[in-house]
Amino acid sequence: MCENHEGARHGPAYPAFDECVRFHGHSCPGLATGYRVAIAAMKALSVNRPFDEELVCVAETDACGVDAVQVVTGCTAGKGNLVIRDWGKHAFSFFSRDSGKAVRVLVKNSHIPGRSAMDDLRRKVFSGTATPEETARFHAMMAETTRSLLSVPESDLLEIRELAEKPPEKARIFASVVCEACGEPVADARTRVVRGRRVCIPCSLAGESPERP
Ligand SMILES: [Zn+2]
Ligand SMILES: [Zn+2]
């Protein structure tokens, strides 16, 4: 599916929606929403795509939109400047370390037309009880919703509010130690002490009453 018009409209500073689709594996409403969130946040904070950790994102969901946020903002799980606190909310906070400014972007759900019909179809499609016609209708509705999410006015889709909070601490480089139970190298800060032995989390779960070091 080709939906790169949004990226073109916002200029070359932002990756096209197609790049997010390539990264995510499919085009979907959640990805489109994350794309709008990411661009809105960068505009609100006047930042371009960072190369290191000057922009930090705290995502309150682990759904599809997080992938668009990673592609567009450069806040990624691996760099440590993407923190996922999965509270099941379509809300994302962004902190600019350079300016000290921060915003929380909340996705308002109200605008999506035919949402309940689409949810009914989704249940059928994913439980394998949908007819081929229903499956086709579901995918057509998903594509239409994705398109409308990419073009709806920002203020209809998102609520952006400034935050006074400080960003979470910078990603730390953890010293590596060896788990005394399984013998595998593990980041020191992720170990637990179980009966006097420093072990990794899986080993601590297999043991009894682990204590934090
Ligand atoms: Zn998706
Ligand atoms: Zn272990």
62 alpha carbon – ligand 2 mean position (Å): 27
26 alpha carbon – ligand 1 mean position (Å): 6
Ligand closest in space to the Cα of 194 = 2
Question: pLDDT tens per residue, the chain (213 residues)?
Answer: 444 444 444 444 789 999 999 999 999 999 999 999 999 999 999 887 655 568 999 999 999 999 999 999 999 988 889 999 989 999 999 999 888 999 999 998 756 667 788 888 999 999 999 999 999 999 999 999 999 999 999 999 999 999 998 887 765 666 889 999 999 999 888 899 999 999 999 999 987 444 444
| 3-state SS, one letter per residue, for the chain | CCCCHHHHHCCCCCCCHHHHHHHHCCCCHHHHHHHHHHHHHHHHHCCCCCCCCCEEEEECCCCCHHHHHHHHHCCCCCCCCEEECCCCCCEEEEEECCCCCEEEEEECCCCCCCHHHHHHHHHHHHHCCCCHHHHHHHHHHHHHHHHHHHHCCHHHHEEEEEECCCCCCCCCCCCEEECCCCCCEEEHHHCEEECCEEECHHHHHHCCCCECC
Report all structural domains of the chain as residue ranges with CATH numbers, in order of start.
5-163 (3.30.1330.130), 176-206 (3.30.60)
172 alpha carbon – ligand 2 mean position (Å): 21
Ligand closest in space to the Cα of 20 = 1
194 alpha carbon – ligand 2 mean position (Å): 11
